[in-house]
Amino acid sequence: AVETQSTSSEEMVPSSPSPPPPPRVYKPCFVCQDKSSGYHYGVSSCEGCKGFFRRSIQKNMVYTCHRDKNCQINKVTRNRCQYCRLQKCFEVGMSKEAVRNDRNKKKKDVKEEVVLPESYELSGELEELVNKVSKAHQETFPSLGQLGKYTTNSSSDHRVQLDLGLWDKFSELSTKCIIKIVEFAKRLPGFTSLTIADQITLLKSACLDILMLRICTRYTPEQDTMTFSDGLTLNRTQMHNAGFGPLTDLVFAFAGQLLPLEMDDTETGLLSAICLICGDRMDLEEPEKVDKLQEPLLEALKIYARRRRPNKPHMFPRMLMKITDLRGISTKGQDEGRYRETKRGFGPLLEHHSVFCSRRGKSHHPEDGDPGANASAHQGDAGEPRGLRRPNGEQRQPATAAAAPAAALNPGPEAGGRRRGGQLGHGKRQRAVTGGRGRRRRRRRRRRRARQELGQ
């Protein structure tokens, strides 16, 4: 019994833990006798010789020995002769096939990763944003297929009469197009949450850009013509005479660059919204808020464009680059020196760009009276700038009250749309027509009315 107890007590004593296995020791590098890091490409080698052999095989390197091709290779001299070092790698048994198999395996893994399809799905909020922008664009800018086209007779017998008609016609069209752009802007989610001053600044800065973009989407390359919202189709010469002047070739070139993008109405609307809501415009009161409004528009266009063209991921950045091209054209159109030199050729396009005219129909203020009467009574004030002439040299008259709002809304960079000194762009000419006090009073009324309409 005593022996049994002693035996059981010995069994209860825990055994001591086994010692860790000794670290694995590799033979020195077969090539240079340096410390080996393991077996690489069939032999024990160091990291340096392993990498040297791999690079030499993958890049098909050809080395030259400047001695007798029998250089001593060790950890001190191994970098002196690459030819003899590579020969030593082959002599000790390093395998080319092992390097190639390793490279092919990596390529296969990379290829499998690239082939995986990318998923571009719009979230619920972005889907709603895309629908709203697309609807706002389509309802303020009918597509080419929705228009009934008619062309003008450009025979030499009616050339002067044609130019006169195009000038007045395009003046009216410019006003209507700018009104539609204002309507489009007010329907963009978040735009009316900006301050009135920032809304006016953004519209002034981007109005001509959006006009160009919209017109260029109605370009017909076979006839080299563009179609406007009322169905009027003009060729390059007629566009020049209608008011584009020196901008004509730039606009047609830009239209040709848009064709490979094959943009639909939704993409055009999103790009127009991105062009409008841009935080880098000058004199913005809240540029951070504008940038925040632009971010979902950029994301929506990126996802929509890639979902529509899964095999063309470069289309989205190419679309954004077109905004830079549009700004370049607009800058040339706004250049004051060029405007003065070619004031007989620009016509209503640039006049109305400086206005983006949000006045519609009759005045909402009874003390202002009929806007058509004001435009007729005070040309150069509410009408077209004095000094611009028709193609035949005669002084121009506004075609209609809606076609002559060149000073209806021309706010400057200060808050509320006022300019320093209370003067408009054509102040010197206006002072020769009306008294200063009455002119300033009418100008204040127009600005107040424009801000109220824009804020609706």
Side-chain half-sphere exposure of 434, counting CA atoms within 13 A = 22
Q: What is the pLDDT along the chain (456 residues), one digit of tens a residue?
A: 444 444 444 455 555 666 666 656 667 898 998 888 888 888 888 988 988 989 888 888 888 888 888 888 888 888 889 899 999 998 888 888 888 666 555 555 544 444 444 557 778 889 999 999 999 999 998 876 666 544 444 443 334 344 556 666 667 777 888 889 999 999 999 999 999 999 999 999 898 899 889 989 989 999 999 888 777 788 898 888 777 778 888 999 999 999 999 999 999 999 999 999 999 888 899 999 999 999 999 999 999 999 999 888 889 999 999 999 999 888 887 764 344 443 433 344 444 444 443 333 333 333 333 333 333 333 333 333 333 334 444 444 433 333 333 333 344 443 344 444 443 444 444 444 445 567 677 767 777 776 776 655
* Residues near 67 by beta carbon (within 8 Å), at least 6 away in sequence: 81
Q: For the chain, which domains are there?
A: 38-106 (3.30.50.10), 124-454 (1.10.565.10)
DSSP symbols for 193-250? GS-HHHHHHHHHHHHHHHHHHHHHTTEETTTTEEE-TTSEEEEHHHHIIIIIGGGHHH
Instruction: Copy the structure tokens of residue 7.
Output: 């035996």
